[in-house]
A and B are shown apart, each in its own frame.
Chain A
């Protein structure tokens, strides 16, 4: 990879990442960060938004892919588009609002107008451009590749490369498992969002989302409070030997799969949960319904998307600077499930994942402490060796104990592959 641009020539990616460790410069070096935006976020498949966020023709939401502002829009014909949010006249961002509905995007600067598929449909005083001007050439630029799975829209700025299904690999199966919990077969993203920011590198959150080693320590107080409220405690699923597993799928994706150690399905004694189960059995049959409701899974889709089915939400990572990251946690509704099931989950998210919550803020404290500690130059390496000697291959997945750093090693293999691509 190119040398970081801070004066020190620095090591290349092949020496920044080893099988069991990564260099501290992955977290502290602004040159590495700039290259990550270019070679990871602006190249590989990244999650953009969910189709249910733009249900009606003309609905749009704005977001970014790496540094580049984009619009997720639904055209009048129902098709979904990902457009660069950049006026083709002189460059202004065309949509400022985060969300809205409009069948015409009108640039505020000189009034050029585009439809939700990006076509240029109006130019004020067009005579000024002469006869050679062809509006068909001046539509909003489209993101080169857009594909979706179960309504989750991914995009890639690379004009060519493997398709989304190939890229997701086994992660697709788990995404299906998560969405299959909806009796109508789809999820709806329309219940607000938890947004938080922290002063540390984006990869600290990416590592942490599938870190089954930390919860007993970082979240001890939250667990104690929850267990006191429930009136029971016991062996926690995030303990060595619980039977839960940490997995890596290739392409940087991975999961924590809780197996028999912890179930996803809420207590069947609850009437809303029982109705949910019945609806699901009707649609999927009892066997698949049990698989769906029994599997507690946390899934990370590299580089920016995470799911936790037990808390019915997904999170989206946004790298802002080498030491600043923003995260959005979206509750999703299981279409066809009782309102009570969905409402309860939305309310539960405030308890765990808001910026004032009982759980997640302690993770952010850990990330900021890591960012501070990693300024030390006397130690170069961040260690991901846990469980390396005992991980195993099974059906295209690398599998280890839930407390092992299997997914993190997988993530950094992909990081290294993407970052090295482009070196002379």
Chain B
């Protein structure tokens, strides 16, 4: 995997100063912040991290196409908003009482960004979830496809030079559970 730093250097050899690319430290900060918003149940702020066309996928099969293999989560932005409305309702009984979570995000790597202002960030995710006297561990590999958006919404996070002075937003989040092929317990909290 080519590192963003190496790409920056390589591009810089040609003359004009290249735009800075997303580095690991900044990617980590983004993921840590996302994790904190979820653990603190600040779901509406978390939704602000997404692009309008964002997709949130927890595959239920070996592949990534939710029309070919039934997925565990297959949400567009509007469905994510519905999910949050559900989590806020006391009558969503599978989350009443709600899960408490502490998540550990680690092994963060920024893959070579593709064309355009986007970057793939890979990470490992371990969630300790506690509900009704039971604590579970949920483990997954995550892909965040971050997209630079030019217009920062107020209070939506720090502007980034690597995002062209805009903000990084989640265009795709794919959570691949380590035990995706086993019967799952209650996963109605956000991963």
Closest chain A residue to B184 by CB distance? A355
A118-129 contact mask (Cβ, 8 Å, vs B): 1 or 0:
000000000000
Nearest CB on B from A200, distance (A): 12
Closest chain A residue to B82 by CB distance? A225
Compute how far the CA of A225 lies from the CA of B191 in the bound complex, rounded to whole angstroms.
21
Interface residues of B in 62-90 (CB under 8 A from A): 66-74, 78-79, 82-83, 85-86, 89
Task: Say yes or no for B188: interface residue by CB 8 A criterion.
Answer: yes
Compute how far the CA of A354 lies from the CA of B83 in the bound complex, rounded to whole angstroms.
14
Name the A residues within 8 Å of B89 (CB-CB).
221
A351-365 contact mask (Cβ, 8 Å, vs B): 1 or 0:
100111110011011
Name the B residues within 8 Å of A357 (CB-CB).
188
A16-54 contact mask (Cβ, 8 Å, vs B): 1 or 0:
000000000000000000000000000000000000000
- Pairwise interchain contact A327-B183, C-beta atoms closer than 8 A: yes
Nearest CB on B from A223, distance (A): 11
- Pairwise interchain contact B185-A346, C-beta atoms closer than 8 A: no
Nearest CB on A from B68, distance (A): 6
Name the B residues within 8 Å of A392 (CB-CB).
none
Closest chain B residue to A361 by CB distance? B94
Q: Size of chain B's interface in residues, with CB distance under 8 A?
A: 33
Stretch at the interface among A177-185, A187-195, A297-305, A402-410: A187-195
Task: Give the number of A-B contacts (CB < 8 Å).
Answer: 106
- Pairwise interchain contact B185-A350, C-beta atoms closer than 8 A: no
Q: Which of A197, A222, A329, A331 contacts B185 (CB 8 A)?
A: A197
Q: Which of B67, B86, B96 contacts A346 (CB 8 A)?
A: B67
Task: Say yes or no for A397: interface residue by CB 8 A criterion.
Answer: no
Name the B residues within 8 Å of A193 (CB-CB).
60-61, 70
Nearest CB on A from B150, distance (A): 30
Name the B residues within 8 Å of A191 (CB-CB).
68-70
Closest chain B residue to A339 by CB distance? B67
Nearest CB on B from A225, distance (A): 5
Q: Which 9 A-B pairs have the closest CB atoms?
A: A192-B69, A343-B67, A355-B184, A361-B94, A197-B183, A356-B187, A192-B61, A195-B183, A192-B70
Residues of B within 8 A of A (CB): 58, 60-61, 66-74, 78-79, 82-83, 85-86, 89, 91-94, 96, 181-188, 191
Using A354-B73, A361-B187 as known contacts, list a sample of 15 further A-B pairs with CB atoms less than 8 Å apart, ordered by residue number in A: A192-B60, A195-B181, A197-B185, A221-B89, A229-B78, A343-B68, A346-B66, A346-B69, A350-B72, A354-B184, A355-B187, A356-B58, A356-B184, A356-B187, A362-B94
